[in-house]
Amino acid sequence: MKKLILTTLAVAALFSACTAPAKKLIVAQDTTFPPMEFINDAKEQVGFDVDLMKAVAKEAKLDLEFKSVSWDGIFAGLANSTYDIVASSVTITEDRQKEMDFSTPYVNAGQVLVVLADNAKDMTLADFAGRNVGAQVNTTGSMEVDKNKAITLKAYDDIALSFDDLINNRVEAVVIDAPVAAQYVKNPKFAGKIKIVGDPMTSEFYGLVVKKGNKELLDKINAALATLSTNGTLDALKAQWLK
């Protein structure tokens, strides 16, 4: 009888282990970057990257939990496994690729210059030598401004504050990703007060990010992105959020 009980318990334990729920993956986002990721009026975390990750999760059978976090420290959280994925308009760069692993690219988002609507003379970043230009801290936008040592970079953790400072003449321009710039130009708070000038300064691509060496998760994400690209889902999301 004891042997039967032990055998039964062993089978039950094995069954329980086999049916244990999959680990919920934490997706980190800096939700100050509309239309890519932001908090809507209903206090919901929404945007292109949110919908993209939900589509990836459905395709790859992943269980996700979204977290709104500060950009400053988002990669440290990935490195120490506080987060499993960063889906937050992260530009793929050589330096970042040394520290983390990127998915295949999914959006081209070059840096553009945003100025006051009544500014008719300044058309390039070089025109702002000796003046203050805003960008989000530790982004390719701030890196672009930093290349010109004659310009004073004012770095923001929350990019929305840079546009507040622009319309209040505390900075004279903002450098930001093209999709985000287009969203702020249309925002009722800023509409008619700011504009995008000139051509994109860079050609750069967003990727989803996982901890360095997490090949299993990266392979699942890339397989899902490939399917979403071929079945029209990715194009539909771009039409919904980026037009």
- Peptide bond preceding 35: is omega within 30 degrees of 0, i.e. cis? yes
Query: What mean pLDDT do residues 11-17 have?
Result: 47
Rank 1-10, 19-28, 61-70 by mean pLDDT and report only the highest: 61-70
For residues 103 and 217, state if they share a domain. yes
Do residue 216 and residue 179 come from a single domain? no
Instruction: Tell me if 8 is assigned to some domain.
Output: no
**15 three-class SS:** helix
117 and 103 both lie in a single domain: no
- In a domain, residue 23? The reply is yes
Do 173 and 192 lie in one domain? The reply is yes
Mean pLDDT of 140-160: 95
Contacts of 150 (CB under 8 A, 6+ apart): 129, 130
Which ranges of 38-125 would DSSP assign to H, the alpha helix? 48-60, 74-79, 94-99
Q: Which residue has the tokens 């069954």?
A: 15
Closest CA to 163 of 131, 121, 196: 196
* pTM, entire model: 0.78
**Reported confidence tier of residue 21, pLDDT bands at 50, 70, 90:** low
Domain extent at residue 42: 19-108+205-241
The yes-or-no verdict on residue 12 having pLDDT over 80 is no
Question: pLDDT tens digit string along 46-56?
Answer: 999 999 999 99
Looking at the structure, do residues 55 and 81 belong to the same domain, yes or no? yes
Range with the poorest average pLDDT among 10-19, 93-102, 128-137 = 10-19
Instruction: Using pLDDT thresholds of 50, 70 and 90, give the confidence band for residue 22.
Output: low
135 and 189, same structural domain?
yes
pLDDT in tens, 166-202: 999 999 999 999 999 999 999 999 999 999 998 899 9
CA atoms within 13 A on the CB side of 156: 23
43: buried, middle or exposed (CB in 10 Å: 19+, 13-18, 0-12)?
exposed
Tally of domains within the chain: 2
| pLDDT confidence tier of residue 242, bands split at 50, 70 and 90 | confident
- 13 pLDDT higher than 90: no
141 and 154 part of one domain: yes
Residues 29 and 101 in one domain: yes
Domain match, 213 and 143 both: no
Inter-helix orientation angle 178-186/159-167, to 10°: 50
What is d(CA 202, CA 119) in angstroms, rounded to the nearest whole number?
A: 22
One-letter identity of residue 211? K
pLDDT reading at 11 higher than 60: no
- Of 164, 179, 197, the domain-final residue: 197
Give phi and psi for 154, each to the nearest 5: -110, 110
35 assigned to some structural domain: yes
Q: What is the mean pLDDT of residues 219-236?
A: 97
Tens of pLDDT, residue by residue over 54-81, are 999 999 999 999 999 999 999 999 999 9
Mean of per-residue pLDDT scores for the chain: 91
State how far the alpha carbon of 155 is from the alpha carbons of 124, 137, 162, 191, in Å: 19, 5, 8, 23
Q: Which pair of structure tokens corresponds to residue 21?
A: 């729920």
CATH classification at residue 81? 3.40.190.10
44 pLDDT above the threshold of 60: yes
3-state secondary structure (DSSP) of residue 125: helix
